[in-house]
Chain A
């Protein structure tokens, strides 16, 4: 404390609490800890991935009060009074979300490193907009890079998870999702 003014936390490690996937997680960390570091290293919630560490890929996407954010570019202390959802909070191996089933069905991943972020961002879209069209899906996922280029399959998985027909989406190379020339 500092006179009667606002509480000053740190710079030494201090007790921190996060609400992650409906559970309160308490740990001790320096204020310089990002939300991503806190989740992965203090809370053992390793779905969000560190890739660029600069809000430039979407691999670390989590939901903050139902909106996707880059957890690498936010301090854990910034998120203490917010509801955090990671891919672990969306479904489980035993009870996957329909979106996760559709991702598997459409083979919407190759290396899988972007997948937790993609599923989390797509889930946020479906909460807001249960039947998004292809443009809306593309826009909602425009903050998630997939270096394996699985985008057409991801888009189809989101369409099917929202009860719609998959499309034969031509890729940038002029091929459709099924590999035929468009």
Chain B
């Protein structure tokens, strides 16, 4: 890592001020758990002159969990272990508990998880330039793109890496921010349209700090990851479902796909097809989930995801229908 200065502000006002380039420090950067940031610094992708540590801010709301809110500094491990969340929105614990490893989850925060950078290996290696950095081409298009998109929503073919972001999509979540002129951003607006801006990790300005997430409770909610390895790895494809049930009938559904597009990929056509079905009507649920790939334009190396996506969505719907199926971890 390059040499840098380090500071631990005690309040978010100071942290915001320090995060904006100024005369003393031209390249300040915010750090929560540092799981993503240090990875990029070690690779030389990020060369800050000041690391602004958010772990010592004196504000207990950053660490609080309740039925409809999680502080931005809460770790993925705490989300996965929370009894409160297991009742109000089991999808959050399942998505958090399935990410990475215990060692990572004990440090990685909710805010950092939403803002982590792409895992595209060309992007992660300093020897490659690409569209998402300063270049004009995407080496993944002709290269090895086996973990990339099937929905080509922009010229960059990365998939969004966060396990939590799609969960917040189906929970109608919002992100709490301080340091700018707004205090809430709907999760669906947190990430830029990849057809217009394929370089930013989010729409936040440098001074804006995520202090928490808010979401609707959803006892019938589930997350399923289809993975190559059960630990250490990001999913190949993930499925997210929230069901509103009337007895055994799906009154309404909200589904979303992860790891298939540059942003979490909501599936309104699946939601419409699921509405009114009995949770026991396996044939029609299967048919509804098959249309999750509508509009996909897979790359040669990602065609296999066309088979995985309907399976991930179907398993998420089944797990959400029988809340016993929303066991911690959510790995299938």
Contacts and interface: CB of A to CB of B under 8 A. Distances in A.
Interface in B1-50: 1-10, 14, 17-18, 24, 34-35, 38-39, 42, 49-50
A4 B149 CA distance: 49
Contacts of B39: 54-55, 73
Contacts of B14: 5-6
B67 interface: no
A68 B75 CA distance: 13
A70 interface: yes
Interface in B32-83: 34-35, 38-39, 42, 49-51, 53, 55-56, 77
A68 B55 contact: no
A31 interface: yes
Nearest to A117: B103
B103 A143 contact: yes
Q: How large is the interface on A (under 10, 10 to 19, 20 to 34, 35 or more residues)?
A: 35 or more
Which secondary structure dominates chain B's binding surface? loop
A31 B107 CA distance: 19
Contact of A121 (B56, B103, B232): B103
A8 B35 contact: no
Contacts, number: 106
Given A143-B102, A143-B104, A32 B3 contact: yes
A135 to B, nearest CB: 10
Contact of A10 (B5, B34, B232): B5
Given A54-B39, A55-B39, A78-B53, A31 B106 contact: no
Contact of A8 (B1, B5, B107): B5
Contact of B8 (A6, A10, A58): A6
Given A6-B10, A142-B231, A11 B104 contact: no
A92 to B, nearest CB: 24
Contact of B38 (A11, A75, A121, A143): A75
Contact of A11 (B5, B9, B56, B100): B5
A31 B34 contact: no
Contacts of B101: 55, 58, 70, 142-143
Contacts of B231: 142-143
Interface of A: 2, 5-12, 30-32, 34, 53-56, 58, 61, 64, 67-70, 73-75, 77-78, 81, 121, 139-140, 142-143, 145
